[in-house]
Structure 1
Amino acid sequence: MAEFFLACVAVAGVYGAATASRKILFVQTVPALIALVLVLLAH
């Protein structure tokens, strides 16, 4: 379940970076991807 929501946050960050501000990529997407990797490694 956490994987799905982290993936949604990452996708929203990529979309936001493409349409609004590139800063969103580093503020939202990178932490979401790091958390997603850590959650997947914990399984």
Structure 2
Amino acid sequence: GLYNGFLAAGLFWGLYLGATGFQVKMFFLLCVATAGLYGAATVGRKTLFVQTVPAVLAILALWLGL
């Protein structure tokens, strides 16, 4: 939906900022992970694997500087 577009725009903004966009990327990835957790609790467990797991993996990669 529309919120996915806002999340994508935020992530692209973080990428555009490069190394200085660490906090922006982290914020929007945490938003994606939080939405995935909420979706898993209210819609179904599939959301956990489709949305939350990739977001958490991206957060770990970002944190490790990969």
Q: With the length of structure 1 as denominator, give the TM-score of the two structures.
A: 0.94
Alignment of 1:1-43 (within 5 A): 1-42=24-65
Aligned residues: 43
CA RMSD of aligned residues (A): 1.2
Gaps of 5+ in 2: 1-23
Which residue of structure 1 aligns with residue 15 of structure 2?
none
* Bigger RCO (CA 8 Å, 6+ sep): 1
Stretches of 4+ aligned residues off by more than 3 angstroms: none
> Rg larger in 1 or in 2?
2
Q: With the length of structure 2 as denominator, give the TM-score of the two structures.
A: 0.63
| CA displacement 1:1-37 (0-9 Å, x = unmatched) | 1000000000000000000011000000000000001
Counting aligned pairs with the same residue, the percent is 58
Gaps of 5+ in 1: none
